[in-house]
Structure 1
């Protein structure tokens, strides 16, 4: 099915402009022109510098540091686009950080993942395009269509092309919540699967209790959705090595790398740590990792999804 819409227009907030530019290169169009100004009182103002009338507008913005500024800028960009008579506005959020706040697991707290979804819809977003939500149920917080991309294909291709005899290794899920993602990549690599059974000791302390599967003498690929401070990653890598893993490779979708993450990765007993460019990783962090950090591009996947949405084609075909 091919739908006649207004012109395809892609704009970017300030959180991850390099990804937006790369997406536009794959689409064969120029990144739209807009300006965001922060006043001395921390207020933001957004202005588009070209016509959006009846356009099919896609706004790329990751929820990365400073997260509150990124969210506010995206809300203003959506609102300004609707006010400028855009035909449709799609919020492209490669990294939706508030997906971690998906349930009320403590008294008197907000389910922020749902609240931010409400704000995006109130601002005027007609559609959302995102990647690897921490919890799939966050998809249900939206009352507008959501296209939920996966980085599994990109990660599997990376491991297949960089690790010799990759099919002889084992994909290791660091907890039971990561099994589905790890299983998908194991099928793509045609290799083994294992997972770590964890026991929660306190609200902040988790202990690796048992390994389900066999990693002894094998290459192990630890797969997860994101790395923040890398505390859980260090535990998973060390546990895999204690269980006899020969080499450990790490691949995640979102490389947030906050706090002591880079120092921990540099000291990690792993061959490499790869993440996609859903979050902008500065060169200084790559250099500080001792050569272990690798950044994989998901720009082509986002470009193909945007193209399919624009023309009314299925996005799910991108994963077949």
Structure 2
């Protein structure tokens, strides 16, 4: 398939360090400088968002780098307004690279008179002129079907598998744990990659933010447990699950979470918890408190996103990045 002209990256304010890292990795892969398009994304005095692109983008293959993390509404509007600016500037194709897709937790109607916000956001993205979405570890895989445009959903599990095999030299006593029944498929995928057994923490929730009861399904006695999940918000469930695992005989508890939202008392809870370590990705720009926490570690996603962007631009397979064999050389010397 013939390629379009050179890929061009533009970033909002949500995660500039990740955007810069992706540009550097693409420069390394291509042997030529790939920079961020010169633009300004600012606020009027009443906090309306203003976007101005200083470079010609007519006929260009544009990639907007923007997580819709906290503040979710501001970052989402930045994404939509940047897309509109590029569309009206005659960009040939606009791809939204959304490492963390916000509003994904509202993916179905669990009660009467509630919205399906993930579908609403999908409609807004398509209407803004975005033609493709690249994201990572959607909260629910069916959200891909909410879009009428192509969606490439990357997975953190191959990167986590590489990191675990590097950090845990002896895998004989390692067990992967899903913190709830809904996350079993995600935990099973990682367990297969590292050839480890699987356990489940069954939780009964009375209402949002409160855990009434937790039960461990499986024998974790003497095991080094690795809790796997896609989102950690206030860390209440995660820290409670770690305590329950220790109470049931686990020797250590570690956690691998894709998106470290870590709002409210999360960092303090994690620092004071029985968890030996929490590993998150840089899909969300980590504040200083997270970076300085003694038992929180951040693994980079820029190598994977840079390669995925190049594959989309080239018209080659993105699903090849699901394999550890493909990501291994990309992450060599990083993890």
Distance 1:309 1:50 in 2: 22
Match of 2:332 in 1: none
Distance 2:105 2:14 in 1: 19
Q: Tell me if structure 2 keeps the 8 A contact 1:57–1:87.
A: yes
Distance 1:32 1:284 in 2: 30
Aligned length: 317
Distance 2:301 2:78 in 1: 23
Alignment of 1:1-320 (within 5 A): 2-28=1-27, 29-202=34-207, 204-287=209-292, 289=293, 291-320=294-323
- Gap regions ≥5 residues in structure 1: none
Distance 2:110 2:195 in 1: 37
Q: Tell me if structure 2 keeps the 8 A contact 1:24–1:303.
A: yes
Q: Deviations over 1:169-222 (max 9, x none)?
A: 000000111111111111111111111122233455334443222210110000
Helix, strand or coil: the match of 1:32?
A: coil
Q: Deviations over 1:68-107 (max 9, x none)?
A: 1100110010000111110000011100121101011122
Which stretch has the larger CA shift, 303-312 or 153-162? 153-162
Structure 1 position 302, deviation (Å): 0.6
- Gap regions ≥5 residues in structure 2: 28-33, 324-335
CA pair 204-266 structure 1, distance change in 2 beyond 3 A: closer
Match of 2:329 in 1: none
CA pair 283-167 structure 1, distance change in 2 beyond 3 A: farther
Helix, strand or coil: the match of 1:99?
A: coil
Q: Deviations over 1:97-129 (max 9, x none)?
A: 211010111222221111111111111000000
Helix, strand or coil: the match of 1:91?
A: strand
Distance 2:193 2:229 in 1: 16
Distance 1:87 1:190 in 2: 44
Q: Tell me if structure 2 keeps the 8 A contact 1:227–1:257.
A: yes
Distance 1:3 1:148 in 2: 24
Q: Which runs of 4+ in 1 moved over 4 A?
A: none
Q: Deviations over 1:263-283 (max 9, x none)?
A: 100101011101000001123
Distance 2:213 2:180 in 1: 9
Helix, strand or coil: the match of 1:98?
A: coil
CA pair 53-233 structure 1, distance change in 2 beyond 3 A: same
Distance 1:120 1:84 in 2: 17
Helix, strand or coil: the match of 1:53?
A: coil
Distance 2:206 2:127 in 1: 40
Q: Could you tell me the TM-score, scaled by structure 2's length?
A: 0.92
